[in-house]
Structure 1
Amino acid sequence: MNLRIIVFSFLAVFLFSSFDFHPLNMSVADVSSGNKKLHWKFKFFTDNISNTLTKNCGKFIDLETDGYDAATAKCLQKYLSTRFEMSVNNTPCKFVYKNASLNKDVLTVEYEAALPTAKIKAVKIKNIVLFDNNFPEMKNIINIHLLNQIKVLEFDYDESYRTGMYTQEIRY
């Protein structure tokens, strides 16, 4: 009986490891400052962001097959502008697209914004990126590197949906 369980366990592991999928539904964003600017770097799994953009932009988008082009960039910019907001000392930051790169299963997109003030007292972030896919386990993680400090915010779909809290604030 134990031998049968061990054999089935190995077969199950082999079967599931032979498929090309990622078990996590998450995005990661890095926020930093330099030269009087804020810099954002978003990282998305290509299948998650492809599905979301297809749903929100009215056309089929497959980053793995078709790559990242100007139309997809425009669609992504429009999508992010309605799902991600950041303010410094209650002054909204208007981010501008800078660059993108597609590396295997991950799309990395970079943005910049003018730093609205020299003295940062508070940073407020709203992040519902990819929450419209209704992945119960969806997490958005933001690493914030400001004022020689590193802060990490986690936006969890289940918790945000349950509490109605989609915005977090950090005070310096």
Structure 2
Amino acid sequence: MKKLFNILGLLSLLIGMFSFMDFHSSMTKVDYNEANGVLKFTTKMSAPDLERVLKMDSKNGAFENAAKNYVNTNFSASVNNNPIRLTYTGSQVNGETVWVYFEATGIGNINSIKIKNTLLLNDFTNQINLVNIAYKGQQKTMTFQRGKEVNEVSF
């Protein structure tokens, strides 16, 4: 019985420690539209995190342009070893979340996608970025963190 209490005490302590740690993440969904050859990117980030990085309130009129420049600087992709041009199509702030939208046009068959994702990695040591890719019924997931800013998947 004493051993059980010790284990429960240790477990409670660990759970308590983790509840005080900050967790920072972003998630990007990539969808391929075969009919028009468009690769659509939708990125979800924490508004307070992005505000801190941009040193600007999300209600500021210049926030959208700053977010666009930030994403363009910190996210790039190649398809079949050829860099693609990502075009920013908009963003929106919804409470504590910022949604950023961008796309690449003229994309044919995809054999591989290589992504460099440094969103928020320089500002938060425990930042983790996820990218989920949907292509012709297949799902692939990439993770990015400090020291692993580039990832590639094959189809």
- TM class by shorter-chain length? 0.7 to 0.9
The residue correspondences of 1:145-156 to structure 2 (distance < 5 A) are: 145-156=134-145
Question: Once structures 1 and 2 are overlaid, which stretch shifts more, 89-98 or 105-114?
Answer: 89-98
Greater share of helix? 1
The 2-side partners of 1:98 and 1:120 are apart by 22
What TM-score comes out, normalization by structure 2 length? 0.80
The residue correspondences of 1:71-86 to structure 2 (distance < 5 A) are: 71-86=62-77
- 2:24 counterpart letter in structure 1: N
What TM-score comes out, normalization by structure 1 length? 0.73
- 2:67 counterpart letter in structure 1: L
- The equivalent residue for 1:40 is 41
Match of 2:57 among 54, 62, 65: 62
The 1-side partners of 2:97 and 2:21 are apart by 11
The 1-side partners of 2:50 and 2:149 are apart by 19
Greater share of strand? 2
Contact 1:93 1:115 in 2 (8 A): no
**Gapped runs of 5+ residues in structure 1?**
55-60
Match of 2:93 among 102, 115, 132: 102
How many residues align? The count is 139
Task: State yes or no: 1:129 paired with 2:129.
Answer: no
- The equivalent residue for 2:53 is 52
Contact 2:92 2:98 in 1 (8 A): yes
- 1:32 counterpart letter in structure 2: D
Match of 1:144 among 113, 118, 133: 133
Q: CA deviation at 1:107?
A: 0.6
Percent identity for Structure 1 against Structure 2: 27
Structure 1 vs Structure 2 CA RMSD: 2.3
The 2-side partners of 1:115 and 1:140 are apart by 26
Contact 1:87 1:93 in 2 (8 A): yes
The 1-side partners of 2:21 and 2:149 are apart by 25
- The equivalent residue for 2:150 is 167
